[in-house]
Structure 1
């Protein structure tokens, strides 16, 4: 299983105040009263809950990279299709990651690429970017030039909502079995359109997915269980849903309207990089295994 990236970190800087940052974005946040109702247990079916073919592969709910565990079975095509087309965007959204980043400056000819950039925020609402993995050796030279053009891709909202729709639907199957009737047929049709796409760019916009209520909890997980039936209290009354990996609430109902596709394409931003400052990592959450390397911000 892939290690969880750092969510929060404190860096001691020589002769300066520590640099503290975390993954919760700045600005107004919504608070909601959440009631945990029932922990949902694994339930395995002979046929795939999505398409009806023989269920042959174990399925994590939510995806393992969010902290899910093996909760049911689907067919190989549904399992792998969602993993290839939408679940990577869900992981990037959950991790606060900017993907396929390239940097460019007058100091080096051409654009140079790094691994995913993790976007984090200081208490003063300043952003911090650091590379999760490796990068082109010329990146340091580009950063030293001062004026840098950064291009990134954001997680596709339609795709990560579809990944959550799949996890929500499978959670329903854990509770009541494979549902029948028109509402379930319409939902499965949206999921099958993902599975049947030939590439990520062909994944259709889902009105049902865009109508879900999705709430994200920051900080330590509310529950250590993979899937919990839960209820959020809203001004209009209680809203039933599932809490995934103790962090993400997804409603069981959808306000279906005119789905608006998320913006596509690349984003470019001009950065002015100052003089490098050396520091040591004082704390990180979650703590990495002893053998792992700690990532320091650039």
Structure 2
């Protein structure tokens, strides 16, 4: 997805394979300034900690205060998926080929596209030394865990809700109560697998900019012109647009789980970068793959 600022050049909204992109005018309306509450906007308990909006890993700054549980309880449960999605990352990767016995792991993989239409996988940190030997074999099976769409959208729902509070104060009424109930259900989940599916989060309009921030501010009230009508939302850290309204959303697809894919890999560069031929077949669920 790309977006045009009126009278400016197109801005790329996301990591995408080469090809046509959709464009929509983006109109910044108001830069939001920090606003600190005495009680947590999510649960109503005393607000004791300063909160980054959006999460700091996306470039957010301290914009408000929440309680300790609402501040820190979302990190590993949903915000990790948001960071992976934003970074274009695949987690828990394992490589396998006939050249080396067994599966070998790396840190999470960052996917990037080259101008000539190939994509490149970058292990972000340390890797099993045997991975270089596997990649050199050329014919590789890669298994990964992609970001979970429900969880990453719930993380964006939290940032959007806090942005509304910063702009207009803590809202009252049934719609706000529903949002708070869904956020509290996330906070109270014991583990990531227990995070409930959110129809509100599913119905948000989400656009992402890949590159330098559109605006060097944490939270900006903005409007995106879609095909039928403008959509009011917030631009987070100059990179992610989230609508203030939700359509309610269609049924959330089942989590993909582990995905397996056969790759024809080019020569690694210093054992850390592998270029891959373009237009690979779709990833398959491990549960449903042949054999």
1:143-292 paired onto structure 2 within 5 Å: 143-276=135-268
Following TM superposition, the consecutive aligned residue runs of length 4 or more in structure 1 with deviations greater than 4 angstroms are none
Provide, for residues 19-43 of structure 1, a one-character-per-residue CA deviation record: whole Å limited to 9, x for no partner: xxx9443333221111111110111
Partner of 1:46: helix, strand, or coil?
Answer: coil
**In 1: Cα distance, 2:56 partner to 2:230 partner:** 29
TM-score by length of 1: 0.83
Provide, for residues 187-240 of structure 1, a one-character-per-residue CA deviation record: whole Å limited to 9, x for no partner: 111111101111001111100000001111233211000000011122322211
**RMSD of equivalent CA atoms:** 1.7
Shift of 1:145: 2.3
**In 2: Cα distance, 1:297 partner to 1:74 partner:** 41
**In 2: Cα distance, 1:183 partner to 1:39 partner:** 24
**Structure 2 equivalent of residue 297 of structure 1:** 273
Contact 1:24 1:218 in 2 (8 A): no
Q: How many residues align?
A: 261
Q: Determine if the alignment matches structure 1 residue 78 to structure 2 residue 70.
A: yes
Gaps of 5+ in 1: 1-21, 279-294
**In 1: Cα distance, 2:87 partner to 2:175 partner:** 32
**In 1: Cα distance, 2:265 partner to 2:223 partner:** 45
TM-score by length of 2: 0.85
**Structure 2 equivalent of residue 93 of structure 1:** 85
Shift of 1:127: 1.2
**Alignment match of 2:46 (pick from 12, 34, 54):** 54
Partner of 1:103: helix, strand, or coil?
Answer: strand
Provide, for residues 93-141 of structure 1, a one-character-per-residue CA deviation record: whole Å limited to 9, x for no partner: 0000010000112222221110010111122322111111110111112
Segment of structure 1 superposing worse, 133-142 or 259-268: 259-268
Shift of 1:277: 5.4
Over 3 Å counting, the alpha-carbon distance change for 1:216 and 1:274 in structure 2 is closer
**Structure 1 equivalent of residue 4 of structure 2:** none
**Alignment match of 2:98 (pick from 103, 106, 124):** 106
**In 2: Cα distance, 1:184 partner to 1:218 partner:** 31
**In 1: Cα distance, 2:258 partner to 2:34 partner:** 40
